[in-house]
C-alpha cells in the first residue's frame, strides 16, 4: 500500500470524484449535500487533504478548479479489503468473508463468480489456517497451549 490512509469523510468525497471523473468543489458540495450537509469550506478542506495525500489532483479551468482522481477506485477497494483483513486473526478471515456475503445483495452473476472462485480456492485450501497474531491478541495461542498440556 503506497498511498496514505483516507478517512471516512474523505472517502465520501473520493466516491464523488471517482464517479464524476472530473469535478469541482461546488459539484461535490451539491452531490453530497443531501447525505452529509457539509459546509462548502469543509468540502474544500477535504479536497485539499485528498490532494495532499495524492489521491486526486487539481487543475485550473477558467475561474474554478477541476479535481480528478489520481488513484483508481479499484485499487482503493483492494486496499480497503486488505486493511479489513489485517484487522482480524487470519483464522477468522473465513468468518469475515461469510459475514460480508451474508450481508450483501448479490446478483446471479456475482454468485456464479463466487462459486467459481471457491472451486479454485479449494485447490489451495489448507487443513488449518496459520494464525498471524501476536500472542494475546487472539485466542489461537491459548487454545494451542491447552492442546499441548
Ligand atoms: Zn490468531
Spell out the domain ranges in the chain: 8-69, 97-149
What is the model's pLDDT at position 144? 58
Q: How far is the CA of 83 from the centre of ligand 1 (A)?
A: 16
**CA atoms 41, 43, 49, 51: torsion sign:** negative
For residue 52, give the nearest of 11, 3, 16, 1 by alpha carbon: 3
CATH assignment of 8-69? 1.10.10.10
The pLDDT tens digits along the chain (149 residues) read: 445 688 999 999 999 999 999 999 999 999 999 999 999 999 999 999 999 999 999 999 999 999 999 999 988 888 888 888 889 999 999 999 999 999 999 999 999 999 999 999 999 999 999 998 988 898 887 765 555 54
Distance 130 CA to ligand 1 centre (A): 8
> Which pLDDT score is estimated for 80?
87
Q: Which of 141, 121, 18 is nearest to 73 (CA)?
A: 18
Ligand 1 centre from 131 Cα, in Å?
4
Q: How far is CA 130 from the centre of its chain?
A: 24
* Interatomic CA distance for residues 139 and 21, integer angstroms: 45
Residue 149 has a pLDDT of 45
Amino acid at each position: 500500500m503506497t498511498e496514505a490512509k483516507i478517512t471516512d469523510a474523505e472517502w465520501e468525497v473520493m466516491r464523488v470524484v471517482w464517479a464524476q471523473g472530473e469535478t469541482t468543489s461546488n459539484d461535490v458540495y451539491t452531490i453530497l449535500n443531501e447525505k452529509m450537509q457539509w459546509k462548502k469550506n469543509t468540502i474544500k478542506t477535504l479536497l485539499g487533504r485528498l490532494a495532499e495525500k495524492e489521491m486526486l489532483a487539481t487543475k485550473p479551468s477558467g475561474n474554478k478548479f477541476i479535481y480528478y482522481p489520481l488513484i483508481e477506485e479499484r485499487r482503493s477497494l483492494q486496499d480497503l479489503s486488505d486493511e479489513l483483513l489485517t484487522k482480524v486473526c487470519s483464522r477468522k478471515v473465513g468468518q469475515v468473508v461469510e459475514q460480508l456475503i451474508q450481508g450483501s445483495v448479490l446478483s446471479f452473476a456475482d454468485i456464479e463468480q463466487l462459486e467459481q472462485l471457491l472451486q479454485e480456492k479449494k485447490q489451495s485450501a489448507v487443513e488449518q489456517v496459520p494464525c498471524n497474531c501476536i500472542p494475546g491478541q487472539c485466542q489461537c495461542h491459548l487454545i494451542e497451549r491447552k492442546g499441548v498440556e
